[in-house]
């Protein structure tokens, strides 16, 4: 089979490897589509703390069941599937309590182990989920980031009709917006640097938008004085923590802040002193569990969550190097790249 391996900073090699054979309780998936995640882009620049070359990336994918190992009876060859890419121990306290996304020895396909920038990938059968006929392979590759958003919406502990400020209208932000709406949020205002992404947020259900570059952001801080407060502020930016700093600055007393975006190592927040005296709740959200995948698939099938504009650019898997060069200086409409793979047709 072919696999695209990150071989160094901004360098890929197209390798030929033996086709995988499934071990007991494994399924070999023929990859049809795989999303390029923000973490893949960090790894490409050599800036990811865990994802280091040589590595076959890819943890957001869909495909066809190519072969099944001994003990696998729930899936048949040729079925359309997606995969929850968390590899967990099933033995630690967190795993036993069902919160295996906080497993003591969590590993992720395509991050700690080779992933789906390849023709085939062998995965534990318990991590495979069926795709409904109405969900395309490309949308199937968006289920993983949408499940991140679904988990975040559950962590938000919504009380219905709450007013929300959401930082970041990238793939995770746009899905989080829709998941919060699907679970009964009130008005949601989105903040981003890109006018195009803010338009996309409006088309996907945002009630208002704020350009993060403009003085509008400063105005948000004065909303408290006007009595127009946010019940929940969500950070889907992460990075150097600027959005989280702004969130703490804007947060009304007694409100909640939900941290979803991945923060760089060693980031410190400026306004920690406010947490106690404003009685804020700071909530973390990380990845998902199977239930998030299952519900995300249902919401996509029902059309309550849409992918329009999110999977914005497609490239062939073997052209991954070209895709990443494009991402280095993308056009305005870029939101997320999907690598499609037509090698296996069943």
Decide: is 41 part of the binding site for Zn ion (CB under 5 A): no
* Nearer to Zn ion (CB atom), residue 209 or residue 337: 337
Closest by Cα among 158, 102, 106, 110 to 286 = 102
SS3 153: helix
- What's the closest the beta carbon of residue 103 comes to Zn ion, in angstroms? 3
Decide: is 89 part of the binding site for Zn ion (CB under 5 A): yes
- What's the closest the beta carbon of residue 94 comes to Zn ion, in angstroms? 6
> Which residues 105-164 are close enough to bind Zn ion by CB under 5 A?
none
- What's the closest the beta carbon of residue 58 comes to Zn ion, in angstroms? 10
Decide: is 103 part of the binding site for Zn ion (CB under 5 A): yes
According to DSSP, the β-strands at 120-124 and 26-35 are antiparallel
Please name the residue that has the structure tokens 């099944």. 68
* Nearer to Zn ion (CB atom), residue 92 or residue 113: 92
In the list 37, 232, 234, 251, the residue contacting Zn ion (rule: CB under 5 A) is: 37
Q: How far apart are CA 235 and CA 258, in angstroms?
A: 6
The 3-state DSSP composition of the chain as helix, strand, coil percent (nearest 5) reads: 30, 25, 45
- What's the closest the beta carbon of residue 12 comes to Zn ion, in angstroms? 18
- What's the closest the beta carbon of residue 106 comes to Zn ion, in angstroms? 7
Decide: is 95 part of the binding site for Zn ion (CB under 5 A): yes
Closest by Cα among 51, 26, 54, 14 to 121 = 26
* Nearer to Zn ion (CB atom), residue 169 or residue 209: 169
Closest by Cα among 210, 200, 182, 193 to 336 = 200
Q: What is the DSSP letter of 161?
A: S
In the list 92, 187, 262, 343, the residue contacting Zn ion (rule: CB under 5 A) is: 92
First to last CA, the chain: 15
Stretch binding Zn ion (CB under 5 A), from 82-90, 170-178, 206-214, 264-272: 82-90
- What's the closest the beta carbon of residue 80 comes to Zn ion, in angstroms? 21
SS3 328: helix
Decide: is 337 part of the binding site for Zn ion (CB under 5 A): no
Q: How far apart are CA 150 and CA 154, in angstroms?
A: 6
Decide: is 323 part of the binding site for Zn ion (CB under 5 A): no
Stretch binding Zn ion (CB under 5 A), from 36-44, 183-191, 290-298, 337-345: 36-44
Q: How far apart are CA 53 and CA 7, in angstroms?
A: 5
Residues that bind Zn ion (CB under 5 A): 37, 88-89, 92, 95, 103
């Amino acid at each position: 089979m072919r696999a695209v391996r990150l071989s160094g900073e901004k360098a890929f090699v197209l390798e030929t490897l033996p086709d995988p054979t499934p071990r007991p309780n494994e399924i070999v998936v023929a990859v049809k589509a795989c999303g390029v995640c923000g973490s893949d882009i960090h790894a490409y620049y050599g800036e990811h703390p865990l994802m280091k070359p040589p590595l076959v990336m890819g943890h957001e994918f869909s495909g066809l069941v190519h072969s099944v190992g001994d003990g696998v009876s729930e899936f048949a060859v040729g079925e359309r599937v997606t995969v929850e890419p968390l590899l967990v121990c099933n033995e630690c306290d967190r795993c036993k309590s069902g919160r295996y996304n906080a497993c003591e020895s969590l590993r992720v396909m395509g991050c700690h182990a080779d992933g789906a920038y390849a023709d085939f990938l062998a995965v534990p059968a318990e991590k495979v989920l069926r795709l409904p006929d109405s969900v395309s392979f490309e949308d199937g590759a968006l289920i993983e980031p949408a499940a991140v958003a679904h988990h975040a919406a559950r962590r938000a502990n919504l009380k219905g009709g709450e007013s929300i400020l959401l930082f970041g209208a990238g793939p995770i932000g746009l899905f989080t917006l829709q998941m919060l709406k699907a679970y009964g949020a009130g008005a949601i205002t989105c903040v981003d640097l890109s006018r195009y992404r803010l338009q996309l947020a409006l088309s996907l259900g945002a009630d208002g938008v704020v350009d993060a570059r403009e003085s509008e952001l400063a105005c948000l801080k004065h909303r408290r004085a006007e009595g127009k407060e946010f019940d929940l502020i969500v950070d889907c930016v992460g990075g150097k923590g600027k959005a989280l700093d702004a969130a703490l600055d804007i947060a009304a007393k007694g409100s909640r802040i939900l941290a979803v975006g991945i923060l760089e190592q060693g980031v410190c927040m400026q306004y920690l002193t406010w947490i106690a005296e404003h009685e804020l709740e700071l909530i973390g959200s990380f990845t998902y569990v199977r239930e998030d995948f299952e519900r995300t698939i249902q919401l996509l099938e029902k059309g309550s969550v849409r992918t329009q504009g999110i999977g914005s650019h497609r490239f062939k898997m073997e052209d991954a190097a070209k895709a990443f060069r494009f991402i280095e200086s993308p056009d305005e409409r870029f939101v997320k790249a999907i690598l499609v793979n037509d090698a296996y047709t069943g």
